[in-house]
Amino acid sequence: MTRGQVAVFVTCVVDQLFPKVGTAMVEVLERLGYSVDFRERQTCCGQPAFNSGYRDEARLLARHFVDVFRDAEFVVIPSGSCTSMVTHHFAELLPGDATAREVASRTWEFSRFLLEVARVEDVGARYEGAVTWHDSCHALRELKIHDGPRRLLANVRGLELREMDAATECCGFGGTFSVKFADISGAMARTKIDSILRTKADTVVSADCSCLMQLQGAMRRAGVGMRTMHLAEVLASR
Amino acid sequence: MSREAILERVRTALGRKPGDVPAPPPPVYLSQVRTTVEQRIDRFTAALEALAGRVIRCPSRDCARDAVNEIIAGKRVIASRASYLRECGIEPEWTECSRADVGITGADYALADTGTLVLLSGAEESRLVSLLPPKHVAVLPVSRLIDSLDELFVRVPLPADATSSMVFITGPSRTADIEQILVRGVHGPGDVTVVLVDD
Amino acid sequence: MSGAFVPVDRLRETIADQRLQGAIYTATGRLIEKRASVVSPEVLPDYQDLREQARCLKQHTLENLDYYLEQLEANVTAHGGHVVWCNSGEEVADFILGLARQRGASLIVKSKSMTTEEIDLNERLEEHQLQAVETDLGEYILQLAHERPYHIVAPALHKTRREVADLFADRLGVPHDEVIENQTLTARRVLREKFLAAGIGVTGANFLVADSGAVVVVENEGNARLTSSAPPIHIAIAGIEKLIPRAQDLPVFLKLLGRSATGQPLTVYTSFLSGPRRPGELDGPDEFHLVLLDNGRTKLLADAAKRESLFCIRCGACLNHCPVYRKIGGYNYPGTYSGPIGAIITPQYQGVLKHPWLPFASSLCGACAEVCPVKIDIPRLLLELRSEVVRGRSGVERLAFRAFAWLGTHPRAYTFVTAMAARLAPGGENGWLRSLPFFARFGVFEKWLSQRDIPAPARQSFRQYWRNRAKSGPAA
């Protein structure tokens, strides 16, 4: 007896660079009683191409995504920006495409899936540490994710949540912005890190691996020894 | 002619033809609230004092006259021709506006929400008396104190019918242009006093 | 390629300038806090409604702009004013020069107007020996320094009190004084003389009110009031997009403008001016001229998908909240307007290929759209502009994305190629690399590494893990 069938879209960043985030997410979902499937044909949602202005190329990837996930009951993604690509921008790329609309309507960012579909705020996790939460931009502004993760983290045993003063400021990743405007991106990361350091937390947590990649890379370069973890990893901790 | 060229470009951009009737505009969004005089006075005073303005409440016109005389004692003064000033017996000797220390005006309305004075220029009220001298004193009856901008535009939907200049004055002139440090009295008066008279 | 001709050196210089960084960040930070304190649900419960109302009003006005322009003109004329239509900045200058000559005016006072910056009005007038003195304190300082505004609302944000002291001592012959209050008083004194001697006063206009034939000018110092009331002639210059239909629509905009710009429920002065002094009025200008400027606005108007760019009421909130602006400041943006609004209108006015990098100088964080009082969807417009920049391009970048799209639609190839890359890549310390072997030190990798360490590909990708798990069961 399962609560439902979840098809995970792990995102190319998680797939290739941070697979533990994917495994953590699967663990949490299975613990909650969902049947999880990883559809092997999945690749990329097309956001990098779209954000760089290459709509035709992005469209090919969008169509592929829709094809892979058609008739999925739930598509769950451990990323605010990839989710918003599907839910907010596929319509622009594939106007009038009913299947695309259908798939988008069943696509969920991980924390919102937990809170709004699974309807849980406590997944039974334990993580000893002082944590500060970084609001990733697409999650915050396009998907309206702000209080949700904080509620989830509040229920993690042993976890102390500390707000940084610049929680909602962009970390500077912005996809290709991070390399096209590397100097600005780096400066933005350092401002964010200053804010993080002021919390004296030992872990930075976010809903987006690209942000964590940006922050962790910059922290390592600056000699700051802090952990970064994806929300899924914290929630999978026991 | 530029006029025709610009209008032509506008119409082409919008796919409209000369004489096309416009779509009906969105409704006017003005709200009115019910408050008491005392509530308005309290709000007005709090708002203006928060901006370093001063409010003097006078039970009578005589009191108002005395309050004003105290402020202008020994100073060069210019007063506008607002009839309410005359009614309060405020008729000081005149100095030329650009040399006056204090400018005394009436006010057509005051807005409680923001601590704002509303002055319509006309035969009785001037633009410059509330602007050139470094100190501005306005005298008005509490009956002219209304709640908000919304209410003002309900009462005065077409200010241009009455005057060439309607000015909202909300506290002393100020700037933070240099290093974001606040300085008052840049071009307009740095000192604003409102005398609210119960009569 | 779309990143071409990025003014990297200049950007680096700004970012490396600690003092400037501090000034920009602090000033914008203060404006952010001030705005937040007056638009919170407790203080302004209908803030979101007001934004929607403002957006609707702007949209309606622009979609019927010809009608409202004609209505405005009729009403200005009815109140004794005179409307001048100008295609370009040159025509504006010609008009003012002509008028000044006719009236024998040699001194002009000006209040702050980004529109006049846009058309280089002061420069044009100076070419003909007409002195146009800026009277807004920040603008006056910049005029003495021969510099451009750094920020839409706080033009001299980048200047220190010492710089101002040096400037005043040098240009005005006053003693060197770093006390800001004294500097302000000096400016007041000097400019007071100008106000009273000027033959013409030139202002901008925040709003043009069609049903009243009126201009609305919003300020804190009092210089706009003086400019429009002391000299015998008042000229107001405004872009045609500044129109609103009715005087009764003004409260919606006034409630948003001051709060969004500086956290003030109302600025100190708001002037609602409709024409020269009426018979019997105690004072006011004898003549009023309203200059309606196109200068490319009709071009933006014609593009329905991006028309909302013209909704802008120039509050500067987008600048204050933009993490990029907060790092690079106003001078790194080409054109008159900086920040997110500049990033969307400058390419439209000048053509996207003039500064092809500009729409890309954003992380698309969306903070601007969140605070825009008229709900311009700036990120969406940036994305549109980006697609226009790369349209028809066939460079390396397009090839790369084409290749990636091919891989992304051919999962087996994707799986194979990524597995190969992971095998070939160095392992790094805890999965992170400080640098890459020589053959990988190029392009995007080099740029990434200039600022931060790079993650090495995982030894086992998620899909590989899943494959294995499928073989041995979920407990693995």
pLDDT tens track for C16-68: 999 999 999 999 999 999 999 999 999 999 999 999 999 999 999 999 999 99
Mutate to test the interface with B, among C92, C266, C293, C300 (most CBs of B within 10 A): C266
Q: Which of B129, B82, B131, B89 shows the shortest CA–CA distance to B107?
A: B82
Query: Which residues are CB-contacts of C62 (< 8 A; sequence separation ≥ 6)?
Result: C241, C301, C307, C310, C311
**Contact between B187 and C188 using a beta-carbon 8 Å cutoff:** yes
| Contact (CB, 8 A) for A171 and A177 | no
Q: Is C299 exposed, middle or buried (0-12, 13-18, 19+ CB in 10 A)?
A: middle
Residue B174 scores a pLDDT above 60 = yes
Residue B193 φ then ψ, to 5°: -125, 135
pLDDT tens track for C248-292: 999 999 999 999 999 999 999 999 999 999 999 999 999 999 999
Q: Which of C315, C218, C256 shows the shortest CA–CA distance to C54?
A: C256
The helix, strand and coil proportions of chain B, stated in percent and rounded to the nearest 5, come to: 30, 25, 50
| Contact (CB, 8 A) for C244 and C210 | yes
Which of C 49-88 lie inside 8 A of B, CB atoms? Answer: 50, 53, 56-57, 60-61, 63-70, 75, 79-80, 85-87
Whether B159 contacts chain C with CB within 8 A = yes
Q: State chain C's mean pLDDT as an integer.
A: 94
| Contact (CB, 8 A) for C168 and C161 | no
Residue ranges of chain C assigned to CATH 1.10.1060: 1-43+315-393
Distance (Å) from the alpha carbon of A43 to chain C's nearest alpha carbon: 5
A75 DSSP β-pair partners: A7, A107
Residue C101: both structure tokens together: 């000559």
Percent of chain A with pLDDT over 70: 100
Confidence of residue C473 (pLDDT cuts 50, 70, 90): low
Pick the more confident residue, C437 or B123.
Answer: B123
| Contact (CB, 8 A) for C150 and C156 | yes
For residue B1, the model assigns a pLDDT of 85
What is the average pLDDT across B15-22? 94
Confidence of residue C1 (pLDDT cuts 50, 70, 90): very low
- Distance between CA B146 and CA B124 in Å, rounded? 21
Q: Considering only alpha carbons, which residue of chain A is nearest residue C400?
A: A49
Residue A180: both structure tokens together: 């096209």
**Contact between A54 and C387 using a beta-carbon 8 Å cutoff:** yes
Residue C3 scores a pLDDT above 70 = no
For residue A1, the model assigns a pLDDT of 67
Q: In terms of DSSP bridges, do strands B191-197 and B54-58 run parallel, antiparallel, or are they unpaired?
A: parallel
Q: State chain B's mean pLDDT as an integer.
A: 95
pLDDT tens track for C83-111: 999 999 999 999 999 999 999 999 999 99
Chain B partners within 8 Å of C56 (Cβ): 26
Whether B33 contacts chain C with CB within 8 A = no
Whether B182 contacts chain C with CB within 8 A = no
How many CB pairs (< 8 A) connect B and C? 260
Residue B141 gets which letter from DSSP? E
Here the ipTM equals 0.97
pLDDT tens track for B177-188: 999 899 999 999
3 state SS for C125-163: HHHCCCEEEECCHHHHHHHHHCCCCCCCCCCCCCCCHHH
Whether B92 contacts chain C with CB within 8 A = no
For residue C444, the model assigns a pLDDT of 84
Residue B94 scores a pLDDT above 80 = no
**Contact between C451 and A218 using a beta-carbon 8 Å cutoff:** yes
Query: Which residues are CB-contacts of B78 (< 8 A; sequence separation ≥ 6)?
Result: B94, B95, B96, B97, B100, B102, B103, B104, B129, B133
Q: Which of C333, C324, C110, C85 shows the shortest CA–CA distance to C228?
A: C110
Residue C201 scores a pLDDT above 70 = yes
Residue B158: both structure tokens together: 């077409």
For residue C476, the model assigns a pLDDT of 45
Residue C421: both structure tokens together: 């890359």
What is the average pLDDT across C405-413? 96
Residue A44 gets which letter from DSSP? -
Q: In terms of DSSP bridges, do strands C243-244 and C207-209 run parallel, antiparallel, or are they unpaired?
A: parallel
Which of B 37-76 lie inside 8 A of C, CB atoms? Answer: none
Distance (Å) from the alpha carbon of B22 to chain C's nearest alpha carbon: 6
How many CB pairs (< 8 A) connect A and C? 200
pTM of full prediction above 0.90: yes
* CB-based touch B/A (3+ pairs, under 8 A): no
Distance (Å) from the alpha carbon of A121 to chain C's nearest alpha carbon: 25
Q: Which of B126, B44, B130 shows the shortest CA–CA distance to C277?
A: B126
Residue ranges of chain C assigned to CATH 3.40.50.10420: 46-295
Residues in chain A where the model's pLDDT stays below 50 = none
For residue C470, the model assigns a pLDDT of 81
pLDDT tens track for C349-407: 999 999 999 999 999 999 999 999 999 999 999 999 999 999 978 888 999 999 999 99
The domains located in chain B, with CATH, are: 36-197 (3.40.50.10420)
Residue B154 scores a pLDDT above 90 = yes
Among C323, C391, C462, beta carbon nearest to A10:
C462
Confidence of residue C445 (pLDDT cuts 50, 70, 90): confident
What is the average pLDDT across B32-52? 96
Distance (Å) from the alpha carbon of A152 to chain C's nearest alpha carbon: 24
DSSP string over A150-188:
HHHHHTSEEEEE---TTTTS--S-TTTHHHHTHHHHHHH
CATH number of C46-295: 3.40.50.10420
The domains located in chain A, with CATH, are: 4-117 (3.40.50), 126-236 (3.40.50)
CATH number of C1-43+315-393: 1.10.1060
Query: Which residues are CB-contacts of A38 (< 8 A; sequence separation ≥ 6)?
Result: A7, A8, A10, A22, A26, C462, C463, C466
pLDDT tens track for C109-150: 999 999 999 999 999 998 998 989 999 999 999 999 999 888
Residue C395 φ then ψ, to 5°: -85, -165
For residue C4, the model assigns a pLDDT of 56
| Contact (CB, 8 A) for B139 and B195 | yes
Which of C 338-397 lie inside 8 A of B, CB atoms? Answer: none
The CA-based angle A27-A31-A32, given to 5 degrees, is 120
